[in-house]
Amino acid sequence: MSSIIRLLPDHVANQIAAGEVVQRPASVVKELVENAVDAGATSIQLLVKDAGKTLIQVMDNGKGMNETDARLCFERHATSKIALAEDLFRLKTKGFRGEALASIAAIAHVELKTKQADAELGTHLIIEGSKVVSQEVAVVPQGTSFSVKNLFFNIPARRNFLKSDTVEMRHVVDEFERVALAHPDIHFTLINNGSEMFNLPATNLRQRIVGVFGSKTNEKLVPVQETTEIVEVVGFVAKPEFAKKSRGEQFFFVNDRFIKSGYLHHAISAAFEGLLKEGTHPSYFLYLQVPENSIDINIHPTKTEIKFDDEQALYAILRATVKHSLGQFNVAPVLDFQRDQSLDTPYHLEGTKSVDPTIEINTGFNPFDAIKERPASSSASFSSKMNTGGSGLSPAPFRKEVLSQWETLYEGIPQEKETILASQHIFEQEVVTGSLFDADETESNAQNKTYQIHKKYIVSPIKSGMVIIDQRRAHQRVLYEQYLNDLHSNKNSSQQLLFPLSLYYATYEMELLQQMQDYLQQIGFVFDAFDTEKVVISGIPVAITESEVSIILEDLLSDMQSAFPTDKDVLKDRIAKSFAQSLAVKTGTFLNEKEQEHIVNSLFACTEPNVSPFLKPTFITMKVEDIDKKFIL
């Protein structure tokens, strides 16, 4: 029989490997930017067109490659990072497998320009689908420039699975931010479709975080620092009041490599225990330095997961370090709750010696001098002033003979006695003619009365029994149809703010807001200005309070980051759902009778009252027969 096992051609093997290495344009960005960091570059520039589908170009001023290395780097398992298996446990670089460039070249058009510092000329190489089209000597600057065009041109099925440009660009920005935050000493630039999104000059760690997430981030950060034999921890955590509902600003770096670890994240959450609102997550930027032989980073294709030798000790150190920082900077409450800060020594008096107070004694002071009797003329004069209503300074204390004649003060005042008999009073009487309501009206009001159970459900009687309504889901349905109607009819009503509201967001969030600006204006928002990190709002919808604006927009941005629809109708639907979810009455909120009736009446006036915008039932009905069955023994 003929053999059935055969070796795959290199281009097929590369395309299979690309399925692991290159999942989307962001994967290409990650590999190329990390290679630029490993090349010792001090300046890295990333150019992106159409979220990387059309072009991804990474230019650096690193050490570059010679003609042989430029050709060899596109071969499978070709790398300069390791030579032995033992090298896997003392890695100091980002990439080491040697499959990235080979996989990228198999599914895209790649152009490479590179030159070393001591070389007069560089190399210009063009590859299309693993095939070398041309290789020639060229005049290029020192460093390396990779251009990846038409990603997945030979695998249309993979290209069809890519999301919208907004979603793919969000992933590109994620990868760019992770590398930029890990290396604040390198100048990074990101240009998207010809416009500059990020320009991050080399600086310290705090300024790099502020440069990526906006100047408003500076006031949120609490420093964290601890050095032990196991790990060295530096970085920042955000104050509890700035916690977000999404998990966007959570970064762990181990030996300058971004990782994801649910176990370590739990340690941070435990340190914030009791300080966060329900449903919010802390933000942190923590950098861990551990011995290279104590971790294994070769357990995941994307190298975002790491195995530690002693995770429990690392957990305890990280939790204690963050908790200590929160207490040290008065973010968390201290144990001495009775401490009076007014008794603390002011800073400008610290170190000075105390001065003993001086005591002065008046040897001639006699406390009985004040009550010596005054001449009779003085008392008589004062008494006459009191009787005649005169004014003057108060004399010494009264004498007994003056106080004993107090009855004379009322001489000359006519005294009248007036006896008021109860029979002389006329009382208003209300004649009760009958019941306040007619019998039919009383019965009707009883039928329409609503009740709230456990601050979650609204019970309303109906002819056949009763209806039990989930107050949050019902309100979501009401608000969803209201905002969806506003978006389609373009009939909005706004209330002008006395003082414009300024909100600060990261760069990628500002991009999303600008794309949704027209739709938000249809709901009732009025925008005065859009900056790189700030938006000024002068008008808001009538049904929204000023304090709710930041919460609503934050929830909306969080919803849109995972998937930003390109179709206008789908986008309007997503916006209406997000607003309904943010503004709907929460479970556990007490509603008075009028509010209950408003939700019930508004729900059954909707076109689809049976389900919420998220396709969950809004109410159930119980017939009298069903209730009767519960009482049958």
The CATH code of the domain that includes 81 is 3.30.565.10
My answer on whether 183 and 218 are in the same domain is: no
Q: What is the DSSP letter of 3?
A: -
Instruction: Establish if 121 belongs to a structural domain.
Output: yes
| Of the residues 151, 182, 200, the one at which a domain ends | 200
My answer on whether 458 and 493 are in the same domain is: yes
My answer on whether 324 and 463 are in the same domain is: no
pLDDT at 616: 92
DSSP states of 373-403: PPPHHHHHHHHHHHHHT------SPPPHHHH
My answer on whether 462 and 528 are in the same domain is: yes
Note whether 198 and 212 are within 8 A (CB). yes
Instruction: Establish if 166 belongs to a structural domain.
Output: yes
pLDDT at 199: 92
Instruction: Establish if 409 belongs to a structural domain.
Output: no
My answer on whether 264 and 172 are in the same domain is: no
pLDDT at 548: 87
Note whether 501 and 537 are within 8 A (CB). yes
Regions of the chain where pLDDT drops below 70: 1-2, 10-20, 78-98, 298-303, 330-351, 370-448, 562, 633
| Of the residues 148, 173, 200, the one at which a domain ends | 200
Nearest to 303 by CA among 630, 622, 38, 627: 38
The answer for 205, left when phi > 0, alpha when psi is -120 to 50, beta otherwise, is alpha
My answer on whether 301 and 165 are in the same domain is: no
The two tokens of residue 33 are 């930017």
Instruction: Establish if 568 belongs to a structural domain.
Output: yes
pLDDT at 143: 92
pLDDT at 426: 52
My answer on whether 183 and 52 are in the same domain is: yes
Which domain does 590 fall in, by range?
A: 451-621
Global model pTM greater than 0.85: no
pLDDT at 633: 62
pLDDT at 291: 85
Count structural domains, the chain.
Answer: 3
Question: HSE (CB half, 13 Å, CA atoms) of 308?
Answer: 20
Tell me the pairing of strands 55-60 and 43-49. antiparallel
Note whether 96 and 82 are within 8 A (CB). yes
The two tokens of residue 195 are 């416009």
My answer on whether 195 and 225 are in the same domain is: no
Three-state DSSP string of 50-77? HHHCCEEEEEECCCCCCHHHHHHCCCCC
